[in-house]
Amino acid sequence: MGYQVLEETTNFLSNKHKLLIDGNWLDSSDGKSFDVFNPANKNKIAEVCFASSQDVDKAVSSARNSFDRGVWSGMKPLDRTKILWKWADLLESKIDHISEIEVLDNGMPVVIAKTFIQYGLDWIRYFAGMTDKVLGKNISSALTGNGENFHSYTSLEPIGVVGLILPWNGPFGTFLIKVAPALAAGCSCVVKPAEDTPLSALLLAETALEAGIPPGVLNVLTGDASTGEALVHHKDVDKISFTGSTSVGKKIVNACSHDLKRITLELGGKSPCIIFDDCDLETAIPAAAMAIFTNSGQVCFAGSRLYVQEGVYDEFLNGIAEFSKGLKVGNGFDPDTMLGPLISEIQFNQVNKYVQEGLEEGAEVIIGGDGDNSDGYFFKPTVFTKIDPSMKIAREEIFGPVLAATKFKDLDEVISLANDTQYGLGAGVFTTDVNKAHSVAAKIQSGNVWVNHYGGMHSALPFGGYKQSGWGRELGEDGFKAYTEQKTVSIKLST
Ligand code: NAD
Q: Measured from the CA of 224, which atom of ligand 1 is nearest?
A: 11
**Which pLDDT band holds residue 140 (cuts at 50, 70, 90)?**
confident
Same domain, 292 and 256: no
**Which pLDDT band holds residue 2 (cuts at 50, 70, 90)?**
low
Q: What CATH number is attached to the domain comprising 311?
A: 3.40.309.10
pLDDT at 421 over 80: yes
Nearest residue (by CA) to ligand 1, atom 12, is: 225
Ligand 1 site, residue 56, Cβ cutoff 6 A = no
Residue 2: inside a domain: no
Same domain, 232 and 314: no
The pLDDT assigned to 378 comes to 98
Ligand 1 site, residue 470, Cβ cutoff 6 A = yes
Number of domains the chain is built from? 2
Q: Which domain holds residue 479?
A: 7-267+470-487
Residue 284: inside a domain: yes
Amino acid at 128: A
* Residue whose CB lies within 8 A of the most ligand 1 atoms, among 36, 165, 396, 466, for a mutation test: 165
Residue 1: inside a domain: no
What tens digit of pLDDT does each residue of 65-115 get?
999 999 999 999 999 999 999 999 999 999 999 999 999 999 999 999 999
Ligand 1 site, residue 378, Cβ cutoff 6 A = no
Amino acid at 375: D
Q: Mean pLDDT for the chain?
A: 96
> How far, in Å, is the centroid of ligand 1 from the Cα of 175?
13
pLDDT at 377 over 70: yes
> Which sign, positive or negative, has the C-alpha torsion 410, 411, 413, 419?
positive
Q: Measured from the CA of 474, which atom of ligand 1 is nearest?
A: 40
Residue 396: inside a domain: yes
The pLDDT assigned to 149 comes to 85
Same domain, 247 and 277: no
The pLDDT assigned to 141 comes to 73
Q: Comparing 139-153, 382-396, 458-472, which segment has the lowest mean pLDDT? A: 139-153
Whole-number Å distance between alpha carbons of 380 and 393 = 16
Other beta carbons within 10 angstroms of residue 233's beta carbon come to: 17
Torsion of CA 109, 114, 115, 116, to 10 degrees: 90
Ligand 1 site, residue 169, Cβ cutoff 6 A = yes
Q: What CATH number is attached to the domain comprising 203?
A: 3.40.605.10
> How far, in Å, is the centroid of ligand 1 from the Cα of 287?
26
DSSP state of 3: P
**Which pLDDT band holds residue 134 (cuts at 50, 70, 90)?**
confident
The pLDDT assigned to 494 comes to 83
User: In DSSP terms, which residues pair with 447 in a beta bridge?
Assistant: none
Ligand 1 site, residue 233, Cβ cutoff 6 A = no
State how far the alpha carbon of 214 is from the alpha carbons of 5, 70, 71, 81, 234, in Å. 31, 11, 7, 13, 22
Residue 118: inside a domain: yes
> How far, in Å, is the centroid of ligand 1 from the Cα of 243?
5
Same domain, 237 and 284: no
The pLDDT assigned to 300 comes to 97
**Using an 8 Å Cβ cutoff, are 135 and 156 in contact?**
yes
User: Active-site residue numbers?
Assistant: 266
Ligand 1 site, residue 237, Cβ cutoff 6 A = no
Same domain, 306 and 395: yes
Short-list 73, 261, 264, CA closest to 183? 73
Nearest residue (by CA) to ligand 1, atom 14, is: 225
> How far, in Å, is the centroid of ligand 1 from the Cα of 249?
8
* Residue whose CB lies within 8 A of the most ligand 1 atoms, among 112, 234, 240, 243, for a mutation test: 243
What tens digit of pLDDT does each residue of 330-362 get?
999 999 999 999 999 999 999 999 999 999 999
What tens digit of pLDDT does each residue of 167-199 get?
999 999 999 999 999 999 999 999 999 999 999
Same domain, 238 and 305: no
Ligand 1 site, residue 376, Cβ cutoff 6 A = no
Q: CA-based angle 211:129:426, to the nearest 5?
A: 105
Same domain, 422 and 480: no
- One DSSP character per residue, 214-275 reads PTTTEEE----HHHHHHHHH-TT--EEEEES-HHHHHHHHHHHTTTT-EEEEE-----EEEE
According to DSSP, the β-strands at 24-26 and 44-49 are: unpaired
pLDDT at 298 over 90: yes
Same domain, 160 and 75: yes
**Which pLDDT band holds residue 372 (cuts at 50, 70, 90)?**
very high
Residue 394: inside a domain: yes
What tens digit of pLDDT does each residue of 142-160 get?
666 677 888 999 999 999 9
Residue 492: inside a domain: no
Q: Measured from the CA of 244, which atom of ligand 1 is nearest?
A: 30
Same domain, 289 and 328: yes
> How far, in Å, is the centroid of ligand 1 from the Cα of 166?
6
**Which pLDDT band holds residue 135 (cuts at 50, 70, 90)?**
confident
Same domain, 15 and 103: yes
Q: Measured from the CA of 249, which atom of ligand 1 is nearest?
A: 2
**Which pLDDT band holds residue 495 (cuts at 50, 70, 90)?**
low
pLDDT at 315 over 80: yes
Ligand 1 site, residue 300, Cβ cutoff 6 A = yes
**Which pLDDT band holds residue 284 (cuts at 50, 70, 90)?**
very high
Nearest residue (by CA) to ligand 1, atom 38, is: 300
Q: Measured from the CA of 300, which atom of ligand 1 is nearest?
A: 34
Same domain, 195 and 338: no
Nearest residue (by CA) to ligand 1, atom 9, is: 194
What tens digit of pLDDT does each residue of 248-274 get?
999 999 999 999 999 999 999 999 999
Could you tell me which residues come within 8 angstroms of residue 396 by beta carbon, excluding any fewer than 6 positions away? 270, 354
Same domain, 145 and 293: no
Residue 92: inside a domain: yes
Which SS3 state, helix, strand or coil, does residue 299 take?
coil
